[in-house]
Structure 1
Amino acid sequence: MVTDFPFLLQSMAWPLVLLVAWYLGERLHEWANLPRVTSYVAVGLVASLINLPGLTDAVPGLPFLANVALSLILFELGYRIHLRWFRHNPWVLALGLVESVLTFATVYWVSGLFTLPTDTRLIIAALSVSASPAGIVRVANEMRSAGQVTERVLHLCAINCLVAVLALKLVIGYWHLSTSGDLVLAAFGSVHVLVTSVAVGALLGVGMPALLRSQRIQERDVTLVFALAVVLLTTMAYGLKLSPLLAALTFGIVARERRVHLTNAQRGFGTAGDMLTLFLFVYIAALLDWSEIGGGVLLGLVLIVVRIATKVVCNVAAARLSGSTERKGLLTGLALTPMSAFAILLLEQSRLYGFEPARQVLMVLAFMMVLQELFGPLVTQRALQAASETHVTRE
């Protein structure tokens, strides 16, 4: 019997890459205090560089699995959002909205200096609004971070993600309108997706807590139930061509308001959540094509500086109004640096739903995404440490 060697390589690619990523993540976190997700991204980039067979194309269902992984993180982020805090301190909500709008406007204006098409500039601006919940939440959990800066970063990250999805869906609607002239199709591609995604997430957020209370499910089983609910939500979103990321974030916010208690031990969805996070960051990095990274270096550097500067300036300027200090505002703005995982999955999801410019934008932003993925979590980690809100002890 002759072994099909190429098929064997494809079959072994993912287990081997994930094992290497896990090992390096643990060792570099122990030796150099690097965020584990940074090591995962580095391994994914190297695997992409050597063109390891079967890493992104040969195995079916990888985009769905990546969306499940990010949806679990977005549910956790949504669960940590306290809506009553916005009522007690509306300046935080106003800060998040104003900072999102200014980031969009500034990035759109600066990208015009590089003679990019209008559609591409709009997409880049919409993506630049977002902060990566995957990078921020995992770093915060890893460092056991808690405090005013951490809470502001999480709440502002959620606002950024909501506005980014809204902006991107409106851009997609504008693209459909400009290419086909069909106003109904444009509205269906934006408003319908946004409203239905929020509605489905909110409905599940109301129904699941009621189910848990009626069945008297033990505390240790709550995590499993919510994980299955997120998988169901992602599957529904794929089938209905909705936004699983927006639905999962809404699900978490509503579940929190329905007073479902999750213990600290369940944060991150345990071992399954850790493995999915490991896969997510390796997969996202492997999507980037090294042949495209060489181009757009200047554009990537300029956009990174502009995006971070806008977030920092807004947070520093509004620090006193929102009950904080300028130093904490600076650290909050810096901690919002990561954006790649959320942005890349938004683009991939849009491409799968027929949005043609998505692939072109990923090519233009390849260099920016690499830097943000590698160094964004590190900036978040250092900012939270500088705020003295981390509670990790060496064993």
Structure 2
Amino acid sequence: MMLIRQTWEALQDRFFFLPPFPEQLDPLALFALLLVGGLLAGETLFRTIGLSRIVGYVLAGALAGPGVLGWLDRETLSMAKPVADAALGLLLLETGRHLDLGWLRANRSLLRSAAAESGLAFATIFAFAYLAVGLSLGWSAATAAITMASAPAVVLLTAEENHAQGQVTQRTLLLTAINCALSFVIFAVVLGIVHAEQSGDWLNALAHPLWVICGGVGIGMLCARLALMVAAGQAKGSVAQVFILVAVALLAIGVARMLAVPVFLCLFLMGAALNLADRDKVLAYTGLPQGHWILAIVLFVVTGAMLPLGDLNWITGLQALGLIIVRGLAKFAGVMATGRQDLPAAKRRLVGIGIQPLSATAIFMAAELAAIYPEVSGQALLLPLLAAALMEFAGPQMCKYALHKAGETEPLPAGRQQ
């Protein structure tokens, strides 16, 4: 390196346009190399030992992040976060489109299952955080709101990765979409509780949740209407419709960031509004089939790097493991206790396993809270972040196991690798 530096400096005397010798790799170049590394890690783990590709993406980000090797510092991560915001938002757009309100009206047991597993998860996580860990009432509620939902991006991508179709797959996707919607509502309410506890400002405690909910609903519905209106003049399922869907989604992301409304909430509600308002099936056959995995690499590499693995010790590790266990048992019990009329017990057990992933949505919810009270949120939000860190690796495999055990995954053709 010394020889290269001396040669470069000698050339600078002759070629005045050369910049100073770079002391480190440009953050964008480093991030691009990390994405390639994440892709290779995911493909290698998938092809050699059958792990989900998502595990490889997260592993690459976690190793390169501040908590381990430190190749990506916090400044670089803050630059990459808007890209990950967009990736999560677009994946949640697809999750929202799985929220079939017509099926919910015809199948009330599904709504009961979602309410049972989400309600039990919130109650048990809150009790664990408050009684066992010793968090305050507000931060215990925040921990429960952040971790009660399944990871929609993980469930959606795992189903696609394994070409899964069937009753268990569809029920898992729908329950994930419903409990995601419920957790967003509770998260908005918890914002007010945290405001009241931390600052005693009751005006903000009441106004902030309303701003988040009304802003999310307004942006989501307006952008859904805009996408349908513009796409109606294009051929169904065409590249033009895909472009319109992505462009309007990016518009929603930009408006949400301008108005300080959570991006994940706006895009999820935009997807739900598209499903509800698209009576003429304008965008029903338009999706992001290949784009999902490009988004997934970006999202899970960044979230892997955001994980606070440097704060993991045996105490915090046991607390995070305890949260995962009580959450998992609550969600499993909620599914098993409901839906007996339309789903056999064996399939309900697999659905209870399939909805276990906890991942990027929880991390980005925590980031929203951390931005409001940075002086206290670091320690208060450590428990849900560490739980998400552990489930980043276990969750995709649990979901994959459930779909495979249900016999709903598509086997690979003989002699061919995926």
User: Is the TM-score greater than 0.5?
Assistant: yes
Give the percent of matched residue pairs that are identical in Structure 1 and Structure 2: 26
Partner of 2:255: 236
Q: CA deviation at 1:202?
A: 1.5
1:365-380 to structure 2, matched below 5 A, reads 365-380=384-399
Flag the 1:331–1:357 CA change in 2: closer, same or farther, 3 A: farther
1:254-333 to structure 2, matched below 5 A, reads 254-257=273-276, 258=278, 259-263=281-285, 267-271=287-291, 273-294=292-313, 295-321=315-341, 323-333=342-352
Aligned partner of 1:118 among 134, 137, 141 = 137
Flag the 1:267–1:28 CA change in 2: closer, same or farther, 3 A: farther
Which segment drifts farther, 226-235 or 191-200?
191-200
**Is the aligned partner of 1:383 residue 2:405?**
no
Larger radius of gyration: 2
**Is the aligned partner of 1:89 residue 2:111?**
no
Partner of 1:51: 69
Q: How high is the TM-score relative to the length of structure 1?
A: 0.92
**Is the aligned partner of 1:148 residue 2:170?**
no
Give structure 2 stretches of 5+ with no counterpart: 1-7, 10-19
CA RMSD of aligned residues (A): 2.1
Q: CA deviation at 1:87?
A: 0.8
Q: List per-residue Cα deviations over 1:113-153 (Å, max 9, x = no partner).
A: 22222222111111121111111111111111111111111
Partner of 1:100: 118
Secondary structure of the 1:7 match is: coil
Flag the 1:261–1:365 CA change in 2: closer, same or farther, 3 A: closer
Secondary structure of the 2:76 match is: coil
Q: List per-residue Cα deviations over 1:229-249 (Å, max 9, x = no partner).
A: 111111110100112111111
Q: List per-residue Cα deviations over 1:12-51 (Å, max 9, x = no partner).
A: 3212211111112112211222110011111111112443
CA distance in structure 1 between the partners assigned to 2:374 and 2:335 by the alignment = 33
Q: How high is the TM-score relative to the length of structure 2?
A: 0.88
Secondary structure of the 1:116 match is: coil
CA distance in structure 1 between the partners assigned to 2:338 and 2:331 by the alignment = 11
**Is the aligned partner of 1:14 residue 2:31?**
yes
CA distance in structure 2 between the partners assigned to 1:83 and 1:268 by the alignment = 22
Partner of 1:74: 92
CA distance in structure 2 between the partners assigned to 1:393 and 1:320 by the alignment = 33
Q: List per-residue Cα deviations over 1:27-83 (Å, max 9, x = no partner).
A: 221122211001111111111244333454236542221111011111111112211
Which segment drifts farther, 159-168 or 207-216?
207-216
Flag the 1:11–1:182 CA change in 2: closer, same or farther, 3 A: closer
CA distance in structure 2 between the partners assigned to 1:52 and 1:16 by the alignment = 14
Secondary structure of the 1:389 match is: coil
Partner of 2:204: 185
Whether the aligned pair in 2 keeps the contact of 1:300 and 1:365 (CA below 8 Å) is yes
CA distance in structure 2 between the partners assigned to 1:9 and 1:61 by the alignment = 12
Whether the aligned pair in 1 keeps the contact of 2:234 and 2:240 (CA below 8 Å) is no
Aligned partner of 1:211 among 230, 233, 247 = 230
Partner of 1:29: 46
Letter in 2 for 1:102: L
CA distance in structure 1 between the partners assigned to 2:218 and 2:232 by the alignment = 22
Partner of 2:244: 225
Aligned residues: 391
Q: List per-residue Cα deviations over 1:257-304 (Å, max 9, x = no partner).
A: 3123454xx644524x42221011011111123321114111111111
Q: CA deviation at 1:344?
A: 0.2
Partner of 1:129: 148
CA distance in structure 1 between the partners assigned to 2:288 and 2:173 by the alignment = 15
Which segment drifts farther, 58-67 or 119-128?
58-67
Flag the 1:66–1:79 CA change in 2: closer, same or farther, 3 A: same
CA distance in structure 2 between the partners assigned to 1:218 and 1:156 by the alignment = 27
Q: CA deviation at 1:195?
A: 2.0
Partner of 1:42: 59
Give structure 1 stretches of 5+ with no counterpart: none
CA distance in structure 2 between the partners assigned to 1:313 and 1:300 by the alignment = 20
CA distance in structure 1 between the partners assigned to 2:377 and 2:156 by the alignment = 26
Partner of 2:158: 139
